[in-house]
Structure 1
């Protein structure tokens, strides 16, 4: 069982390099929206959550997913031929006409900035042939590429369907993923765009009142609005105060102003309560005599009042705030213990016993005696001869 859990952790680590977990907030903000998620845009740390995993309807926030899927998969310079089906879409449009040919990037702009439902369908049909096939492919993309777990989309624009749902957390993950793409980030943050279509010329203004400046808030970098009568008000917002970047999602607000007020409260909280810190690659974390370390210098999000760092037996480091809530989790690497070097025993070559000095002297004496005897014998023979 322990091995199974370990392999699950490793899989999640490979997929996402950083795992994020959260609990319901002990710091209660006075929020009216039913579903809320506030993430650090860079680390993915979950800073605030309210009913974040409950299924809700996103309305036009769906277009965030459609846009990043189109940017990832499509050729932005490709020409899209608008179908009759796209033209017949209800709600907000950019007033395309059947047979009109529009570059893919321009349709993404019209879809995100002016929330064009007709542009969204034209994009879907261009990429995958039909809206049905697009929805199937989009759902696969969101699960495998981004890692959502409670999302199912049936169309590219967010028009109400009981089987078209997501959660605040999944929507935050989608937005976080998307804003890392420079093309998406540029369009997501566009306030004004001149639009020249075959039947409609206009100046498009973002519908997001904080981004537009109608409800001033410093550091807003992008946003998307959503509404249907069944879905209620929805809002996605990104912001940067120069020290930390935030992604805020609010779902199911009754009144339009509620979603903006809630977003302001979330951003205020995130900017004042959290900051960045770096865990160095050389830093070691120990548990049960095991040592773990980050594979690289790793950016973390910590509460300004301090954090608690805990590592488990599998090397999963939890960054907790002072209330014990896990803000961020990071998979560390196991440090192999230094192997002790085994010095092989030196085999002493066997030696013949060394003769003692007495033995040597005895042998030498015998040799001398023998040699002397031989000389004496030779001398006697020589005397007799002569």
Structure 2
């Protein structure tokens, strides 16, 4: 069955429409086309602009090209540390003994000293804010015993997150040809996961400076000074990678993630990232349409202990559209008319499609929010007869 639900209706009215009306879908006759300016052309090897909630890609170029990530690697390094904190396998006050290897690691440093002990929280701020290679190795060794084992943990998480074109060889991003690589798209996926899963630690990404061992270093993400909506994420640079930046900004209820790889200078990576973010915020808007695990409609269940199952979504539904077209959206549901018990919570029983003009712009499965056990012999027999009459 198909049900029309205007997006801008009050929630209670949406439910009423879903529950009691069965209407054929009618296409919207567009009098004018939806016009969006082409994305800007950036002076970068690869880039992508992603809405963090709807996961719609708003702009991209060579987003799947495999490239060295430089210090953008540290997004995964802290992601793993944050997981360890969340799972109580690590604490912020825990002390880490600095190895000679960590102390000798070349490149950017937070200036920890060999054989000294440093708090996990300070090491993580040294990675996030100061981009310390020494801190990255120290935390990797503390979590996994050695950096090679930690790199395998990084690769396991990359696979779990769907980063299909990524492989890590170390915790820092120091060059490792043919062993250490990723893509702009994979980095956007990782950054989205970091922001969504660990907001209590992601707040460190917007701190502009950090002092350790009486040495104050500024955050290398210069967008933090020029754009109040920017609150992260990470810079990177090696000769092979060029100047790179993963940035995220939130304006009102819309969060965008930009990944810019392979620019020619520090100023270029900031300027190109700002251009990309401004484009997304200027021409698009994101809306939350429905909450997860909330009843959107009900459906008839046959041969069950109950005749009605509640249907909703497993995840919040967001949509990103061009500006000023929100009221033109329509939502439709399709539910199988022959739903048979037993039904388990989470079973996929239909679909919600959101349409703008005559195109589906997002879709999510409708799932069972409650279980329905198989009915008694008499209930099953009665429904079998009724189905012959009503579902011919």
TM-score after normalising by structure 2: 0.69
Q: Residue 382 of structure 2 aligns to a residue in which SS?
A: coil
Q: Could you give the per-residue CA deviations for residues 3-50 of structure 1, whole angstroms, max 9, x where no partner exists?
A: xxxxxxxxxxxxxxxxxxxxxx98332212222122222333333222
Q: Does 1:333 align with 2:367?
A: yes
**CA–CA distance in 2 between the matches of 1:333 and 1:47?**
29
Summarize the Cα distance change of 1:312–1:282 in structure 2 as closer, same or farther, 3 Å threshold: closer
Secondary structure of the equivalent of 2:107? coil
Residue among 274, 277, 287 paired with 2:285: 274
Report Cα offsets for 1:181-212 as digits up to 9, x if no partner: 1343122121122222xxxx21221111011x
The one of 203, 209, 213 aligned to 2:222:
209
Equivalent residue number for residue 49 of structure 2: 38
Alignment partner, residue 185 of structure 1: 202
Change (3 A) 1:343 1:40: closer
Bigger-Rg structure (1/2): 1
Aligned residue in 1 for 2:260:
250
Q: Pairwise mapping of residues 118-129 of structure 1 onto structure 2 (< 5 A)?
A: 118-129=134-145
**Counterpart for residue 83 of structure 2:** 72
d(CA) in 2 for partners of 1:183, 1:130: 27
Which residue in 1 is equivalent to 2:33? none
Higher helix fraction (1 or 2): 1
Question: Where has structure 1 moved over 4 Å in runs of 4 or more?
Answer: 280-285, 306-326
Distance in 2 (alpha carbons) for counterparts of 1:223 and 1:269:
19
Task: Give 1:302's aligned residue.
Answer: 320
Return the alpha-carbon distance in structure 2 between the equivalents of residues 29 and 93 of structure 1.
Answer: 35
User: Size of the alignment, in residue pairs?
Assistant: 307
**Partners of 1:105 and 1:59 in 2: how far apart?**
23
SS of aligned partner of 2:202: helix
Which of 223, 228, 237 aligns to 1:227? It is: 237
Structure 1 length normalisation: TM-score?
0.70
Give me the whole-angstrom Cα distance separating, in 1, the residues matched to 2:109 and 2:384: 81
Cα distance change on mapping 1:317 and 1:344 into 2, 3 Å: closer
Partner Cα distance (1:35, 1:308) in 2: 35
Change (3 A) 1:103 1:274: same
SS of the residue corresponding to residue 43 of structure 1 reads coil
